[in-house]
Amino acid sequence: MTTVTIIQPTISEEQNHKLRCAAYCRVSSNSEDQLNSFMAQTRYYEKAFEKSDREQLVDIYADEGITGTREDKRDEFQRMISDCRKGKIDRIYTKSISRFARNTKDCLKNIRELKSLGITVFFEKENIDTAKLTDEMMITIMGGLAQEESVSISKNIKWSYQKRFEKGIVNVFSAPFGFKLNNGALIIDKIQAQ
Protein backbone atom coordinates (compact mmCIF):
# COMPACT_ATOMS: atom_id res chain seq x y z
CA MET A 1 0.00 0.00 0.00
CA THR A 2 1.33 3.44 -0.90
CA THR A 3 1.65 6.07 1.72
CA VAL A 4 0.57 9.60 1.10
CA THR A 5 2.40 12.44 2.75
CA ILE A 6 0.36 15.57 3.16
CA ILE A 7 2.38 18.76 2.95
CA GLN A 8 0.67 21.68 4.57
CA PRO A 9 0.74 24.94 2.62
CA THR A 10 2.94 27.63 4.08
CA ILE A 11 2.50 31.33 3.78
CA SER A 12 5.38 32.51 1.71
CA GLU A 13 7.66 35.17 3.10
CA GLU A 14 6.91 37.26 0.00
CA GLN A 15 3.21 37.45 0.89
CA ASN A 16 4.07 38.81 4.35
CA HIS A 17 6.77 41.17 3.07
CA LYS A 18 5.87 44.83 3.21
CA LEU A 19 7.34 47.11 0.57
CA ARG A 20 10.11 49.15 2.19
CA CYS A 21 9.43 52.75 1.25
CA ALA A 22 11.36 55.97 1.60
CA ALA A 23 10.20 59.54 1.21
CA TYR A 24 12.37 62.28 -0.22
CA CYS A 25 11.61 65.91 0.64
CA ARG A 26 13.46 69.06 -0.34
CA VAL A 27 12.99 72.79 -0.11
CA SER A 28 15.36 75.17 -1.83
CA SER A 29 15.48 78.01 0.67
CA ASN A 30 15.21 78.70 4.37
CA SER A 31 12.35 81.19 3.96
CA GLU A 32 9.41 80.74 6.33
CA ASP A 33 6.96 79.56 3.66
CA GLN A 34 9.51 77.03 2.37
CA LEU A 35 10.17 75.75 5.90
CA ASN A 36 6.41 75.34 6.40
CA SER A 37 6.28 73.35 3.14
CA PHE A 38 9.20 71.26 4.36
CA MET A 39 7.47 70.45 7.65
CA ALA A 40 4.22 69.69 5.83
CA GLN A 41 6.00 67.28 3.47
CA THR A 42 7.68 65.36 6.29
CA ARG A 43 4.48 65.18 8.39
CA TYR A 44 2.52 64.00 5.36
CA TYR A 45 4.88 61.08 4.75
CA GLU A 46 5.03 60.14 8.44
CA LYS A 47 1.22 59.79 8.46
CA ALA A 48 0.87 58.23 5.00
CA PHE A 49 2.39 54.88 5.96
CA GLU A 50 1.06 54.50 9.51
CA LYS A 51 -1.81 52.14 8.68
CA SER A 52 -0.62 50.60 5.43
CA ASP A 53 -0.79 46.81 5.16
CA ARG A 54 1.43 46.72 2.06
CA GLU A 55 4.06 49.39 2.69
CA GLN A 56 6.26 50.50 5.57
CA LEU A 57 8.22 53.72 5.86
CA VAL A 58 11.93 53.03 6.20
CA ASP A 59 13.05 56.65 6.49
CA ILE A 60 12.38 60.20 5.41
CA TYR A 61 15.30 61.80 3.63
CA ALA A 62 15.00 65.56 3.72
CA ASP A 63 17.27 68.29 2.37
CA GLU A 64 16.45 71.71 3.74
CA GLY A 65 17.48 74.96 2.04
CA ILE A 66 19.31 73.13 -0.74
CA THR A 67 19.16 73.61 -4.50
CA GLY A 68 17.88 70.76 -6.63
CA THR A 69 20.20 71.52 -9.53
CA ARG A 70 23.22 69.77 -7.99
CA GLU A 71 22.83 66.38 -6.37
CA ASP A 72 26.32 66.46 -4.83
CA LYS A 73 25.17 69.31 -2.53
CA ARG A 74 22.25 67.25 -1.16
CA ASP A 75 23.54 65.08 1.69
CA GLU A 76 20.19 63.42 2.44
CA PHE A 77 19.65 62.60 -1.23
CA GLN A 78 23.10 60.99 -1.32
CA ARG A 79 22.29 59.05 1.87
CA MET A 80 19.04 57.80 0.30
CA ILE A 81 20.82 56.64 -2.88
CA SER A 82 23.44 54.91 -0.71
CA ASP A 83 20.69 53.11 1.26
CA CYS A 84 19.13 52.05 -2.05
CA ARG A 85 22.44 50.56 -3.14
CA LYS A 86 22.60 48.69 0.19
CA GLY A 87 19.19 47.12 -0.51
CA LYS A 88 17.30 48.93 2.27
CA ILE A 89 14.63 50.52 0.04
CA ASP A 90 12.12 49.12 -2.49
CA ARG A 91 10.23 52.29 -3.43
CA ILE A 92 10.68 56.07 -3.12
CA TYR A 93 7.90 58.61 -2.81
CA THR A 94 8.45 62.30 -3.50
CA LYS A 95 6.17 65.29 -3.91
CA SER A 96 7.26 66.15 -7.45
CA ILE A 97 10.01 65.80 -10.02
CA SER A 98 11.29 69.27 -9.10
CA ARG A 99 11.75 68.12 -5.48
CA PHE A 100 13.69 65.05 -6.68
CA ALA A 101 15.91 67.00 -9.11
CA ARG A 102 16.00 70.17 -11.19
CA ASN A 103 18.64 68.77 -13.49
CA THR A 104 17.26 66.46 -16.19
CA LYS A 105 20.52 64.57 -16.70
CA ASP A 106 20.92 63.79 -12.96
CA CYS A 107 17.23 62.96 -12.62
CA LEU A 108 17.30 60.38 -15.42
CA LYS A 109 20.67 58.96 -14.32
CA ASN A 110 19.36 58.36 -10.80
CA ILE A 111 16.03 56.96 -11.94
CA ARG A 112 17.78 54.54 -14.30
CA GLU A 113 20.15 53.41 -11.56
CA LEU A 114 17.26 52.94 -9.14
CA LYS A 115 15.35 50.94 -11.76
CA SER A 116 18.40 48.73 -12.28
CA LEU A 117 18.35 48.08 -8.52
CA GLY A 118 14.65 47.18 -8.70
CA ILE A 119 13.58 50.40 -6.96
CA THR A 120 10.66 52.46 -8.24
CA VAL A 121 9.95 56.14 -7.70
CA PHE A 122 6.51 57.73 -7.48
CA PHE A 123 6.16 61.46 -8.18
CA GLU A 124 2.87 62.44 -6.58
CA LYS A 125 2.17 65.82 -8.17
CA GLU A 126 2.70 64.51 -11.72
CA ASN A 127 1.23 61.06 -10.91
CA ILE A 128 4.25 59.43 -12.55
CA ASP A 129 5.40 55.99 -11.44
CA THR A 130 8.71 54.63 -12.72
CA ALA A 131 7.29 51.12 -12.36
CA LYS A 132 5.55 51.90 -15.66
CA LEU A 133 7.97 51.82 -18.59
CA THR A 134 6.09 54.50 -20.53
CA ASP A 135 6.74 57.16 -17.88
CA GLU A 136 10.42 57.81 -18.71
CA MET A 137 9.41 60.13 -21.56
CA MET A 138 7.18 62.08 -19.17
CA ILE A 139 9.99 62.25 -16.60
CA THR A 140 12.30 63.64 -19.29
CA ILE A 141 9.76 66.30 -20.24
CA MET A 142 8.82 67.22 -16.67
CA GLY A 143 12.48 67.13 -15.56
CA GLY A 144 13.37 69.48 -18.40
CA LEU A 145 10.59 71.85 -17.34
CA ALA A 146 11.80 71.78 -13.71
CA GLN A 147 15.35 72.50 -14.86
CA GLU A 148 14.22 75.41 -17.04
CA GLU A 149 12.14 76.81 -14.19
CA SER A 150 15.24 76.78 -11.98
CA VAL A 151 17.29 78.54 -14.68
CA SER A 152 14.52 81.14 -15.14
CA ILE A 153 14.31 81.83 -11.40
CA SER A 154 18.08 82.24 -11.22
CA LYS A 155 18.07 84.66 -14.17
CA ASN A 156 15.24 86.69 -12.61
CA ILE A 157 17.10 87.00 -9.31
CA LYS A 158 20.33 88.05 -11.04
CA TRP A 159 18.40 90.57 -13.14
CA SER A 160 16.78 92.06 -10.01
CA TYR A 161 20.21 92.36 -8.31
CA GLN A 162 21.63 94.06 -11.41
CA LYS A 163 18.74 96.58 -11.55
CA ARG A 164 19.06 97.38 -7.84
CA PHE A 165 22.84 97.81 -8.17
CA GLU A 166 22.29 100.18 -11.12
CA LYS A 167 20.04 102.29 -8.87
CA GLY A 168 22.61 102.20 -6.06
CA ILE A 169 20.49 99.93 -3.89
CA VAL A 170 22.38 97.10 -2.24
CA ASN A 171 20.15 94.48 -0.69
CA VAL A 172 22.04 91.27 -0.01
CA PHE A 173 21.66 88.48 2.53
CA SER A 174 25.37 88.09 3.14
CA ALA A 175 28.21 90.53 2.67
CA PRO A 176 30.77 89.97 -0.07
CA PHE A 177 34.40 89.49 0.94
CA GLY A 178 35.88 92.74 2.28
CA PHE A 179 32.55 94.01 3.62
CA LYS A 180 30.24 93.57 6.62
CA LEU A 181 26.51 94.06 6.90
CA ASN A 182 25.36 96.70 9.37
CA ASN A 183 21.57 97.07 9.58
CA GLY A 184 21.27 96.05 5.93
CA ALA A 185 24.00 98.42 4.75
CA LEU A 186 27.39 97.29 3.48
CA ILE A 187 30.39 98.72 5.30
CA ILE A 188 34.03 98.03 4.66
CA ASP A 189 35.59 95.33 6.83
CA LYS A 190 39.00 96.85 7.51
CA ILE A 191 40.69 93.52 8.21
CA GLN A 192 39.35 91.72 5.13
CA ALA A 193 39.71 94.79 2.91
CA GLN A 194 43.50 94.72 3.28
50-74 per-position pLDDT tens digit: 888 899 999 999 887 666 556 777 8
In a domain, 121, yes or no: yes
In a domain, 125, yes or no: yes
Domain hosting 67: range is 16-145
In a domain, 27, yes or no: yes
In a domain, 7, yes or no: no
In a domain, 186, yes or no: no
pLDDT > 70: what percent of the chain? 65
Q: For residue 45, which of 17, 80, 78 has the smallest C-alpha distance? A: 80
pTM: 0.62
Structural domains in the chain (count): 1
In this prediction, residues 116-125 reach a mean pLDDT of 91
CATH of the domain at 68: 3.40.50.1390
Q: What confidence tier does 82 reach under pLDDT thresholds 50, 70, 90? A: very high
In a domain, 73, yes or no: yes
Q: How many CA atoms lie within 13 A of 88 on its CB side?
A: 14
Q: In the prediction, which pLDDT does 184 show?
A: 67
In a domain, 6, yes or no: no
In a domain, 79, yes or no: yes
Residues forming beta bridges with residue 22, ordered by sequence position: 59, 92
In this prediction, residues 106-117 reach a mean pLDDT of 87
